[in-house]
Chain A
Amino acid sequence: MDKDEKFFKAMGDKISSRIDKKRRFYFNVKNEDLREVVDYLFKTMGCRLSTATGIEMYHGLEILYHFSDDDTGTYFCPRVVIKDKEHPKVKSIVPIVKGAEWIERELFDFWGIEFEDHPRMERLLALHHPQNLKEPMRFGRDS
């Protein structure tokens, strides 16, 4: 059984709205299942977190994580949709993937998404901004 088949079998109904492309898998994950999915991808499958993309859509904020399986060149992209645009909150994956610290801080900087259990939840790029920004930088601009 291929790695990707094993992964989808192990995760079962934690995964929905799956889109398969050539060496790319995009799928939705609920906030409460995120850590389990990430743990499997990072620790069991040995994937590397490339980055996470924040996207503001009409229906809410999306966070799309990009995990690369460097053995096969395949990308696994769990997507978490946050409906509450005013107070977006997601579980941090830093306790599992240390390399996610800056990635989550950048998302906080852009969209104000708060990551629960993040060791240092503060702005990354605009920490010393000359205008002392009060709001997330792309808040309300993309939809």
Chain B
Amino acid sequence: MIANSIPIGPFHPLLEEAEYFELKVDGETVVDIDMEIGWMHRGHEFISEMKTFTQSIYLVERICGICSTSHPIACVHAIEDIDNIEIPIRAKYIRTLVGELERIHSHLLWLGLAGHFIGYDTLWMWVWRYREPVLQMFEIISGNRNHYGMMRIGGVAKDVDPASIPDLAKIFDMLGKKMAMLAGAVKDDPVLRSRLKGVGVLSYDDAVAYCATGPTSRASGVRGDVRKDESTDAYGLVEFDEIVLPNGDVYDKLVLRVLEVIESVKICRQCLEKLKEIKGPILNDVKEISPGEGIGRYEAPRGEVFHYIRSDGSNRPIRHKVRAPSFVNIPTYTASCKGIPVADVLITLASIDPCYCCTERSLKVVNKENDPCLIDLLKISREKTERIRREINGSK
């Protein structure tokens, strides 16, 4: 067998972020895949340890543009876990509402991109049309379309205006109908079925072995959803189904996300109904955090977001560990890409909805010889610009 290599990345039209894949191929068939990351690190863990607990919530919100409320929810869960802090019931429903809205917009974003990657731009335009009202709902609730700044230790920062609830309910009515229609259309669509069925299969055993999480593992028949397992916030107070599909291929991952959107709309409507009835505070006053350690997690659209925080009783964490779902899902490519044709690799890589900003969140480079040498990307960029400018001026 003669194996050749096909490089993908680190900068590639398919990949919105920088990462590198090396496919070892025998003819048209992929026999092995190697992955390298490290182009996106920004040092959130280390920076967080220099911030106060409240400041670190804003920091982790910026780990990812799509999961911009999943990280803060997991972060406040971790801090609250240290002291077993309870939050007001109204805050629970608001957290759940915002978290589920994020799931809807993230899944719709991925569905559109998946359509685009396989050259099916109708799906892309169709789905993104329904994503826009979701962003508008964020604007109504938080004032922002992204980075909502809603989470606080002991509750939430902003209340849902009762006057806006009828408007939100109308949008959810529309979304519920459209998503039901979309689910039917996706299941019946012969193009999607023939292109994605049986492609990039991740078996049940591999999903367990690689400790995959979220839609990636649930589409392979592995049960596990933090919303059901821990029932934090209002998840124990609302009714919804955990979607699990058996085949592990890209088609199941696509259908699973559509079905999850329908469940999320269901959860949001229940939250809105409760927010009409339940009055009261949205934030408990938390004066200080005791020494100790806490684990917080949340079911982000891509899977379990995990935060571990250790406190020494001061106002800063002495250790803040962040693990995004893509960090454990990306290694599953080793199993799902082997044996498939090269043409199927791109949609298989996209199928886990990878996020490299999240994956590489953790690093801050400190060089002992050159202290304090945080790798300053801005500085490197300016130096490079300056060098190019000098070269251009020199060549004139």
Query: Closest chain B residue to A55 by CB distance?
Result: B319
Contacts of A55 in B (CB 8 A): 310, 319
- A50 pairs with B323, CB closer than 8 A: yes
Closest B residue by C-beta to A139 = B368
Is A106 an interface position by the 8 A CB rule? yes
On whether the beta carbons of A125 and B38 are closer than 8 Å, the reply is yes
A53: nearest residue on chain B (CB-CB)?
A: B321
| B1 interface hit (Cβ, 8 Å) | no
Task: Say yes or no for B163: interface residue by CB 8 A criterion.
Answer: no
Q: A55-B319, A98-B210, A102-B331 are in contact. Are A137 and B364 (CB under 8 A)?
A: yes
Beyond A66-B295, A131-B375, is A50–B363 a contact (Cβ under 8 Å)?
Answer: no
Whether B365 sits at the interface, judged by CB under 8 Å, is yes
Q: Is the CB of B306 within 8 A of A133?
A: no
Task: Judge if A44 is at the interface, Cβ distance under 8 Å.
Answer: no
B308/A99 in contact, CB under 8 A: no
Residue from the list B224, B231, B294 in contact with A70, Cβ < 8 A: B224
Interface residue? B15 (CB, 8 A): no
Q: How far is the CA of A131 from the CA of B375 in the complex (A)?
A: 9
Size class of the contact patch on chain A: 35 or more
A140 CB-CB contact with B under 8 Å: yes
Partner of A129, one of B38, B213, B308: B38
Is the beta-carbon distance between A106 and B362 smaller than 8 angstroms? yes
| Contact call B365/A133, Cβ cutoff below 8 A | yes
- Interchain CB contact under 8 A, B365 and A131: yes
Docked complex Cα distance between A5 and B304 (Å): 26
B102 within 8 A of A: no
CA distance A140 to B363 in the complex (A): 15
Judge whether A124 and B366 touch: CB under 8 Å.
no
Residues of A close to B393: CB separation below 8 A: none
Give B372's nearest chain A residue, CB to CB.
A141
**Residue B28, interface by CB 8 Å:** no
Whether the pair B229, A125 counts as a contact (CB closer than 8 A) is no
Residues on A with C-beta less than 8 A from B318 are 142
Taking CB atoms, residues of chain B closer than 8 Å to A71 are 229
B297 within 8 A of A: yes
Smallest distance from the beta carbon of B363 to chain A beta carbons, Å?
A: 5
Q: Given A50-B211, A55-B310: A125 and B331 within 8 A (CB)?
A: no
User: Contact at B365–A48, with CB atoms within 8 Å?
Assistant: no
Q: Is the CB of B323 within 8 A of A73?
A: no
User: Of the candidates B41, B231, B306, B368, which one forms a contact with A125 in the assembled complex, judged by CB atoms under 8 Å apart?
Assistant: B41
Q: Which chain B residue has the least Cβ–Cβ distance from A128? A: B38
List CB contacts (< 8 Å) of A86-143 with chain B.
97-103, 106, 109-110, 123-131, 133, 135, 137-142
Contact (Cβ within 8 A) B37 A64 = no
Q: Specify which chain A residues have a CB less than 8 angstroms from the CB of B367 in the assembled complex.
A: 131, 133, 135
A26 CA / B292 CA spacing, docked (Å): 11
Question: How far in angstroms is the closest Cβ of chain A from B171?
Answer: 32
A53 touches B319 (CB 8 A): yes
Answer yes or no: A23 CB below 8 A from chain B CBs.
yes
Q: How far is the CA of A26 from the CA of B81 in the complex (A)?
A: 13
**Chain A residues within CB distance 8 Å of chain B:** 21-24, 26, 48-51, 53, 55, 64, 66, 68, 70-73, 75, 77, 97-103, 106, 109-110, 123-131, 133, 135, 137-142
**Could you show 24 A-B contacts with beta carbons less than 8 Å apart?**
A24-B295, A50-B304, A53-B319, A64-B308, A66-B295, A68-B297, A70-B224, A72-B229, A73-B230, A99-B328, A106-B362, A125-B41, A125-B360, A126-B41, A127-B38, A128-B36, A129-B365, A133-B365, A133-B367, A135-B367, A137-B363, A137-B366, A142-B318, A142-B319
